[in-house]
Structure formats: structure tokens, C-alpha cells
Amino acid sequence: MTIKGLKIKKTAIFTLLLISMTTMMSNVAIVTALPRLQDYFSDIENIEFYSRLILTLPSLSIALLAPFLGHFVFRFGKKNSALAALFIFATTGSAGLFLEHIEAFLLSRAMFGISVATLMIVSTSLVGDYFQGEARHKFMGYQSAFMAIGGVSFVIGGGILSDINWRLPFGIYLMGFVLIPIAYLFLIEKRKDELFNLEDEITVPKKLIGIYLLGFFYMLIFFILPTQIPFLIIDTFQASGKVAGFIIGLAFFANALGAISFSKLKKRFDFFSIYIIALTIIAIGFIGVGLVNNLKLFFLTSTILGFGGGVMMTNVTAWMLSRTTFEKRVKSSGYMTSFMFLGQFCSPIVFHPLVSNFGVQTFFEIIGISLFAIIFLIMFYKLAIKS
């Protein structure tokens, strides 16, 4: 494959898939360890909130720093940025193997977020560099599927390891060290003298702001899945970490199927219509979780949630890339990363009062009904405009 004189080898594409997979690892690897981490630090006031913050604090770092990291990646180069980020990813991500203070946990997770933000910007912008049009849509489906399948492995592996010791899932992040030589040998990018001037890259088109906000809202809602379901499954339904891992892992497998389905949906619908379709599927999944009274039914309801999330995640990213150009791609990807991870960080904070007042399961039902109300209002508004 050649893009503007640059030959893209299959090894480079596979390396890009591996780097994309690490961004999915950023949180899912430790979700089943959080209830036991909460028990370990039970003497700390508000540990229930802090345990969820450990999961989402990297998202705050990403949200705050991603736009600036976009400039860094542009200056330093995508390959060099990926190598540095993988090193930070492995060292800070695995720090949970030995840390003894909750403050140290929070600091390490904040630093960890910097590496994830960089890797997301690199992977998203390289997708735009390597592929165009329909080929990009198809690859993005496979990329999201690869990320989701990786998520299945990591969340199930984390669940099994957390049953042995709650610290062991943090060791999964050591995989970053394995990826460093692979990225060094095989990742391809354009030479510096082929790039546009940085000044051309600074201004982000205003037409992307709406897409960024949709990405924020998607992540705000979807991240309820990893931040709340483990506590519901383990604490309320008394399941093991392994069972919780399999349930969440199945959701990520369904996420992969949803991502692959995107390219077929795109042939029939526009980006906005696909967003509404995916939001409807997610709403059904939320109501399903809210009505579950048997542990086995989580395998169905979590699958519905995961599938809808896979469609929406791929749709939002492809939508953004379709409205930007090569010279603006790094910066645009930085802002997209920022908005989506701000949604991740805000998710447990925004919804904590509802969870505290109504309980986790009733909370899921409330969110599902609210999403259907939003969908109805959007459709009513569009019909009103047409008439």
C-alpha cells in the first residue's frame, strides 16, 4: 500500500493495531480489581469514590493535556512520541503492583494518562495518514474490533488475576515494554520534510466542535459500564472477579462486532443517523441491566451495551476524520481525544449522586429511560424542522 509516495507495510498496520489496543487497556485491565482495592483501603474516608477515581483519573490527564500533546506529537514525530509513551505506559501503569498509599495510586494514574493520550493521538492520526475514504471506514471498524478483542483478553485476564491478588492486574501494563521494540522496528510515518508547517496545523475547524461534544456525551454515558457494573456484579450479585471479567469481556467482544458493523451501516446511513441508532441500542442495554434479577442475564444486557458502544465509537472517530485534512489531523485528533476522555473522567463524578441515592441497578434503569427521552426529543425536533 502506498500513501502519497509512502509505502505502508502490513507490519506497520499490525503495529498500529497493537498501539491502538493499548489505549483500550488504559482502564479495563483493572476494573475487576477495584472492589478489592476498595476493601484494602477501607479505612480511608470516601474510598468508594477514590476507587472509581483511580479508574478515571487518567482520563482527566488526557482531557487536559491532549490538545497540547497534539503539538508535541507534531514536533517530535509520531514514531518517537509512541516510543516515549509506551515506556511511560509500562512504568506508571504497573506501579500498582507495589504502591501502598492511595495518593501515590492517584498520582501514578494521572501520569499514566499522559502516555495513553499520546498513544491515542498517534494511532488516530496515523489511521488518517494510512487510509482514505471507504478503506478508512473499513479499517477503523477492524481497529475498533482489535481494540475490543484486546479488551476482552485484558479484562478476563484481569478478573482471573484479581481473584489471586488484587494487585496482579496492574502487571498487565508491562506489555508496553514488549511493544517498544516492535514500534521501533515497524512503525512508519512521513519524514519531517514532507509534513506541512506547524502553523497550518494549529487552527481546528469550528465544524468539528459539534462532533467533539457528541464524543464527550457518548463517553460520559458509555463509561458507566466499566465504572459501575463491576461493583453491581461483585457486591450485589456476589460474583467472583473471574465471572465479572467474563461478563465485561463479552461486552467488549460485542463492542468489536459493533465496530465491524459500522462500515456496512455507513453505506446506508449518514453519521448522525448512525449515532442515533447506536444511542438507541445503548439505551436498551441500560434498561436491560436495570431490570436484571439473575446474574446470567448480564451476559445478554452487557452484550447489547457493548455492541452499541462499538458502533458509536467508530462512528464518532470516522466522522471527525472525514471533516479534517492531513495538516490538521494531529491537532484535531488531540481535541477529539481530549473531549472523549473528559467524558470518561466526568462519568463517575456526574453520576455519583444518582448512584448513591438510587443504587447502582436502579441508576442503570434511570439512565436508559433518560436516553430514550433524549432520542425522542431529537427525532421530534428533526421532524419539526422538516415540516
Residue closest to 262 by CA, chosen among 333, 317, 338: 317
**Is 200 among the domain residues?**
no
**Other C-beta atoms lying within 10 Å of the C-beta of residue 353:** 10
Q: Which residues pair with 3 in a beta bridge?
A: 6
**Per-residue confidence at 51, pLDDT binned at 50, 70, 90?**
confident
- Residue with the bigger pLDDT between 314 and 24: it is 314
**Is 176 among the domain residues?**
yes
What is the three-class DSSP state of 131?
Answer: coil
- Average pLDDT over all residues of the chain: 82
pLDDT the model gives residue 374: 92
Whether the per-residue pLDDT at 180 is higher than 70: the answer is yes
Asked if residues 99 and 108 have their Cβ atoms less than 8 Å apart, the reply is yes
CA pair distance 70, 121, nearest whole angstrom: 7
Asked if residues 295 and 188 have their Cβ atoms less than 8 Å apart, the reply is no
**Per-residue confidence at 313, pLDDT binned at 50, 70, 90?**
confident
Highest average pLDDT, of 152-156, 215-219, 367-371, comes from 367-371
Q: Which residues pair with 6 in a beta bridge?
A: 3
pLDDT the model gives residue 32: 77
Q: Which domain holds residue 161?
A: 10-189+206-386
Highest average pLDDT, of 153-162, 316-325, 349-358, comes from 349-358
DSSP of 319-385: HHHHT--GGGHHHHHHHHHHHHHHHHHHHHHHHHHHHHHH-HHHHHHHHHHHHHHHHHHHHHHHHHH
**Is 272 among the domain residues?**
yes
C-alpha cell at 4: 502519497
pLDDT the model gives residue 84: 94
Highest average pLDDT, of 128-137, 160-169, 186-195, comes from 160-169
For residues 84-109, give the mean pLDDT. 90
Asked if residues 70 and 331 have their Cβ atoms less than 8 Å apart, the reply is yes
Asked if residues 226 and 248 have their Cβ atoms less than 8 Å apart, the reply is yes
For residues 29-52, give the mean pLDDT. 81
Tell me which of 5-9, 164-168, 282-286, 335-339 is least confident.
5-9
**Per-residue confidence at 162, pLDDT binned at 50, 70, 90?**
confident
CA pair distance 109, 102, nearest whole angstrom: 11
pLDDT the model gives residue 373: 95
**Is 287 among the domain residues?**
yes
**Is 83 among the domain residues?**
yes
CA pair distance 370, 201, nearest whole angstrom: 39
**Per-residue confidence at 202, pLDDT binned at 50, 70, 90?**
very low
User: What share of the chain has pLDDT > 90, as a percent?
Assistant: 19
- Residue with the bigger pLDDT between 9 and 209: it is 209
Total structural domains within the chain: 1
C-alpha cell at 313: 465509537
**Is 2 among the domain residues?**
no
pLDDT the model gives residue 280: 95
Residue closest to 255 by CA, chosen among 371, 130, 155: 155
Give the list of residues 6+ apart from residue 257 with CB closer than 8 angstroms, or none.
145, 307, 310
**Other C-beta atoms lying within 10 Å of the C-beta of residue 268:** 8
**Per-residue confidence at 375, pLDDT binned at 50, 70, 90?**
very high
User: Per residue, what are the HEC states of 273-322?
Assistant: HHHHHHHHHHHHHHHHHHHCCCHHHHHHHHHHHHHHHHHHHHHHHHHHHH
**Per-residue confidence at 182, pLDDT binned at 50, 70, 90?**
very high
C-alpha cell at 138: 473499513
| Domain containing residue 216: CATH number | 1.20.1250.20
For the whole model, what pTM was predicted?
0.71
Q: Which residues pair with 368 in a beta bridge?
A: none
Whether the per-residue pLDDT at 3 is higher than 60: the answer is no
Whether the per-residue pLDDT at 61 is higher than 90: the answer is no
**Is 197 among the domain residues?**
no
pLDDT the model gives residue 325: 65
For residues 219-238, give the mean pLDDT. 83
**Per-residue confidence at 63, pLDDT binned at 50, 70, 90?**
confident
**Is 196 among the domain residues?**
no
Name residue 229's amino acid.
I
CA pair distance 136, 338, nearest whole angstrom: 22
For residues 233-248, give the mean pLDDT. 81
- pLDDT single digits (tens) 132-151: 767 777 787 777 777 767 77
CA pair distance 64, 67, nearest whole angstrom: 7
**Per-residue confidence at 387, pLDDT binned at 50, 70, 90?**
low
284, with CB counted inside 10 A (0-12, 13-18, 19+), is middle
pLDDT the model gives residue 200: 42
DSSP label of 240: -
What is the three-class DSSP state of 2?
Answer: strand
H or E stretch at 7: strand 6-7
Whether the per-residue pLDDT at 306 is higher than 80: the answer is yes
Residue closest to 324 by CA, chosen among 116, 71, 80, 129: 129
